Amino acid sequence: MALKNLSMDISRNEITAFIGPSGCGKSTLLRCFNRMNDLVPFARVTRGRILIDGEDINEREVDVIALRRRAGMVFQKSNPFPASIRDNVSYGLRIAGVRDKARIEEVVERSLRRAALWDEVKDRLHESALSMSGGQQQRLCIARCLAVEPEVLLMDEPASALDPIATSKIEDLMRALKEKYTILIVTHNMQQAARVSDRTAFFLMGELIEYDNTRRLFETPSEKRTEDYITGRFG
């Protein structure tokens, strides 16, 4: 999906939700923030800039690997590696050349605690991550992102494949994490956007239709198309 006529400021330490019908450009935009779209054949940015702390991340000299540490991605379907829980969390550190075992253990524990998973897995860190439940696997993927100390968390439908209890845990986790991180979430679940986000952006056919405080957008939208979408007239 091509995005056009798009300009928005995203606040630090807030949860910003992207909503809209399938194919409207939400996930395309999310992947712009860590240049995952670079991996898509023929995808390109033709005009415009994306600034993180004043740096245009599309400049040729930007280290894309470093950018993806700054803006970690959590996907719709959990994707743990076929390795131990410990090795999943420490993967980014080891790729970065960290060999200090004490530091690795410290980061593993801290990241699992931040992902509200430590108490559930602390006695089985050596076990395969694939033995975990779906909700635990998704929180493990979040812990794996947190281990490399990102500034931004990009979440693409992070709870869509989970049951209501696991979804509630992910939402509680997002609320806790925004104290330290800036979170962008794509969701088809408007109730979820209303529950967890501070600001919401509504997209349609590649255009940003409305972007506002979440409560205001849902209760008194300024655009008729936004009202039609959130009241179920289309989408």
CATH number at residue 68: 3.40.50.300
Range of the domain at 165: 15-79+150-230
User: Regarding beta strands 51-52 and 15-19, do their DSSP bridges make them parallel or antiparallel, or are they unpaired?
Assistant: unpaired
- Prediction pTM value: 0.92
pLDDT 10s digits, 50-108: 999 889 999 989 999 999 999 999 998 899 999 999 999 999 999 989 999 999 999 99
User: Regarding beta strands 71-74 and 15-19, do their DSSP bridges make them parallel or antiparallel, or are they unpaired?
Assistant: unpaired
Percent of the chain with pLDDT over 90: 83
What is the C-alpha to C-alpha distance for residues 56 and 46, in angstroms, rounded to an integer?
Answer: 14
Mean pLDDT of 28-51: 82
Q: Is the pLDDT of residue 42 over 70?
A: no
Q: Which amino acid, 173?
A: L
What is the C-alpha to C-alpha distance for residues 223 and 54, in angstroms, rounded to an integer?
Answer: 30
**In angstroms, how far is CA 149 from the centroid of its own chain?**
14
pLDDT 10s digits, 114-170: 999 999 999 999 999 999 999 999 999 999 999 999 999 999 999 998 999 999 999
Total of domains in the chain:
1
Mean pLDDT of 184-208: 96
Query: Is there a domain that residue 116 lies in?
Result: no
DSSP annotation of 56 reads E
Q: Is the pLDDT of residue 10 over 70?
A: yes
Q: Which amino acid, 74?
A: V
**In angstroms, how far is CA 138 from the centroid of its own chain?**
11
Query: Is there a domain that residue 166 lies in?
Result: yes
Query: Is there a domain that residue 70 lies in?
Result: yes
Least confident of 101-110, 145-154, 177-186, 226-235: 226-235
Query: Is there a domain that residue 6 lies in?
Result: no
Question: Which of 124, 31, 144 is closest to 79 using CA atoms?
Answer: 144
Query: Is there a domain that residue 122 lies in?
Result: no
